[in-house]
Amino acid sequence: MSAILNITEAKAKFSEVVERVIQGEEIIVTRMGHPVARITRYDQAAPNRRLGNFEGRIRLSEDFDDWPDDIARDIGITD
């Protein structure tokens, strides 16, 4: 559920706004009747995935990075 507060209300009740957000409520802040911001609970980013996770599971063909002659010439890889 979202609550709507104008900037003046949100500023005056900021501690209360933070507590409400901690409890899972979403707060929409408006200026002159138009929504300008949404305050939501902060969720920690997922940990980075480990490098090499697909090691030994993916094979690339020997000519993976070979370009066709006409394209290589057009993009300046060969003369």
Q: What CATH number did the domain enclosing 25 receive?
A: 3.40.1620.10
Inside any domain, residue 44: no
pLDDT at site 64: 87
The pLDDT of 40-56, averaged and rounded, is 84
CA distances, 12 to each of 26, 35, 79 (Å): 17, 18, 69
d(CA 53, CA 48): 11
Has residue 78 been placed in a domain? no
Domain extent at residue 8: 2-39
Average pLDDT of the residues in 55-65: 86
Confidence at residue 57, expressed as pLDDT on a 0 to 100 scale: 87
C-beta separation of 28 from 4 below 8 A: yes
Whole-number Å distance between alpha carbons of 21 and 43: 12
Per-residue pLDDT at 49 exceeds 80: no
Amino acid 28: pLDDT: 97
pLDDT above 90: residue 16: yes
- Give the pLDDT band (50/70/90) at residue 17: very high
Count the domains in the chain: 1
Give kind and range of the element (H or E) at residue 33.
none
Residue 13 forms part of a structural domain: yes
- 64 lies in a domain? no
